[in-house]
Structure 1
Amino acid sequence: MSDPLTNDYEARLRAWAGRELVARRPGPDPVNVPMIRHWVEAMADDNPVYLDEEAARATGRDGIVAPASMVQAWTMRGYAASVRADDAPADADELKALLAEGGYTSVVATDSEFEFHRELVPGDHVSIEETVESISPEKTTALGAGRFVSTVKTYRDASGEIVATQKWRLLRFRPAEKPAPAEQARPEALRPRPAINPDNAFWFDAAREHRLVIQRCADCKSLRHPPGPCCPQCGSFGWDTVEAQGEGHVHSYVVNHHPRHPAFDYPLVVALIELTEGTRLITNMTGVAPEDVEIGMPVVLDWLDPDPDLSLPAFRPADAKER
């Protein structure tokens, strides 16, 4: 890498002032109504002079015109041409290489200033050419040390008349080196919080006391889980709870491998447990390898306390030792 502060390097950069960066190049398509329509719809620009001939003539124009800010769009070559090495302007590559020699390998656009000479109309075929106006001395920026490269883009119609000019400025910068993060112990990830609301808060409150409760209708005495405000059997809003015995069997299960969350160990067994009381709930399994879980397996209540603010019921095989 050349020292960007040497006199020779500075002189080579200054020599670019006034040089042609992109030779005059026509856009791929003439100004046309379909592209104008796409543009104004995307920009939510409802000015009628862009699509309504009558409205445009009412303003003294000969017909519809293209939005001024579209001038760049008419000269864009499209994605395929923009990535082909043989289509890249040689002078632009030469300047890019010179800036890279000084370590200015990153780029960000900073500002653009247009001057419009006349409105474009359908049928106009626009060309673009670009010259370097100046390259600044090295500046210190929040992104890193860099140089502002100012160019002038000139847009012409098919007869060579200028329709617009654009002053365009880029910051070519040397990315600032970030200090290596200090080594420190990463805090353990918290298990995702349950969505607690007035209808289920009682259940999580009981879980924090290591009590597995089931909501019971105060009128018809039917049990229900998940909790809800109204009995699905009789429609009553009255309810109380009973404490489950903590026994049941595996009604169904899945083994989760992905996506992974740092608070869990994988593979993770998620089971649908049917309690002896008849209700079912979704919990994790403990004390068993995923390949050993079976439908109908008898299970007993266990408890998970992942952090001081959360306790959740889990189930382990009835013949497994308590943790």
Structure 2
Amino acid sequence: MTAGKTAADAEAEEELLRRLKSFEGRPAATAARAKDPVNEPMIRHWCEAMGDTNPAYTGPGATAPPTMLQAWTMGGLSGHTSRATAHDELFALLDAAGCTSVVATDCEQEYLRPLRPGDTVTFDAVIESVSPRKTTKLGSGHFVTTRMDVHANGELAGTHRFRILKYAPVAKRPPKPEAAGPRRPRPVVNRDNQGFWDGVREHKLLIQRCTACATLRFPWLPGCNACSSPDWDTVEASGAGTVFSYVVMHHPPFPAFDPPYAVALVELAEGVRVIGNITGVPYDKVRIGLPVRLEFLRVDDALELPVFRAEAG
């Protein structure tokens, strides 16, 4: 028995699982009929949406893409029937147990024969399994797996297994109060750019240099984009540069930022280009070719960023 769970809780959980397990093997649909036969317009729309230009799906002798298997069984917004199904009963039981949210987790398909325009599609569905309670990051709940056998003109064409999680969502924690207003978004630091941010903490703007061909590169990359060598070292930027291009941000407003402000693509003296904020002049005075100098701006107690201050004159 887990900590915090009483004997009564454990008994209730066992009874719920017993009732859930009673749905295993129950049919969710029997000899249900697709609303439309397999048809070329629906195949065309599917292929256009997926960007699939395979010639097997057009012209005389066309077949439907195999992954459309479930599409022919869907009932649309109006569904297939107004009668309650085993699925409805199962989901009502889970809802009553607090598992009010649902997310699709995975599906498996097996193709036995191609579907062709004109085929009449029927299908049988069965609730294959209901898992014991599982705990996920979304919350705790039960995985429900449904198997659907799809027939074309009475011949088995494929099998579709669809698994969902019905769960009780984790209560959201209230956001921590900000001590001095909202914080800037944190940069994404990974193994490929860790050295750059280590340099920033030391007030250095480090540029990668390929040790095979001496090409400088920025932003940081795991390999040289000139010769593909994975070997590199760094050089420290002098800090001098000019505005190569820029934008003035007016919208949308975002916490921790105070628009309007200028963001520039700065060409460093070393030849690489870096994106950063322009300080020292009003946003409407930033111009292409404006000389700038690197400086480091502390935006809060845990974050310092490289920015560029406009040079006098």
- Contact persistence 1:75–1:127 (CA under 8 A): yes
TM-score normalised according to structure 2 size: 0.55
1:104 positional shift: 1.1
Which of 130, 133, 143 is equivalent to 1:138? 133
1:109 positional shift: 1.0
Larger Rg: 1
2:138 and 2:287 mapped to 1: Cα distance? 54
- Contact persistence 1:21–1:89 (CA under 8 A): no
1:140 and 1:70 mapped to 2: Cα distance? 32
Letter in 1 for 2:169: P
> Could you list the runs of 5+ residues in structure 1 that have no partner in the other structure?
54-62, 209-224, 231-308, 311-323
Aligned 1:175-190 pairs, distance under 5 A: 175-185=169-179, 187=181, 189-190=256-257
1:90 and 1:124 mapped to 2: Cα distance? 26
Relative to 1, partners in 2 of residues 1:65 and 1:187: Cα closer, same or farther, differing over 3 Å? Answer: same
Aligned 1:1-323 pairs, distance under 5 A: 5-53=12-60, 63-79=61-77, 81-82=78-79, 87=82, 89-158=84-153, 160-185=154-179, 187=181, 189-195=256-262, 205=280
SS of match in other structure, 1:87: coil
Relative to 1, partners in 2 of residues 1:107 and 1:229: Cα closer, same or farther, differing over 3 Å? Answer: closer
1:36 and 1:207 mapped to 2: Cα distance? 56
CA shift digits 1:195-219 (9 cap, x unpaired) = 2669xxxx984669xxxxxxxxxxx
Letter in 1 for 2:68: M
SS of match in other structure, 2:123: strand
SS of match in other structure, 2:29: strand
- Contact persistence 2:133–2:142 (CA under 8 A): yes
1:12 and 1:197 mapped to 2: Cα distance? 63
1:229 and 1:154 mapped to 2: Cα distance? 64
TM-score normalised according to structure 1 size: 0.54
1:143 positional shift: 1.1
1:119 positional shift: 0.4
1:145 and 1:229 mapped to 2: Cα distance? 56
* CA RMSD, Structure 1 to Structure 2 (Å): 3.3
Matched length: 199
- Contact persistence 2:122–2:152 (CA under 8 A): yes
Letter in 1 for 2:156: I
1:23 positional shift: 3.2
Give aligned-pair identity as a percent: 40
SS of match in other structure, 2:72: helix
Letter in 1 for 2:166: R
- Contact persistence 1:117–1:162 (CA under 8 A): yes
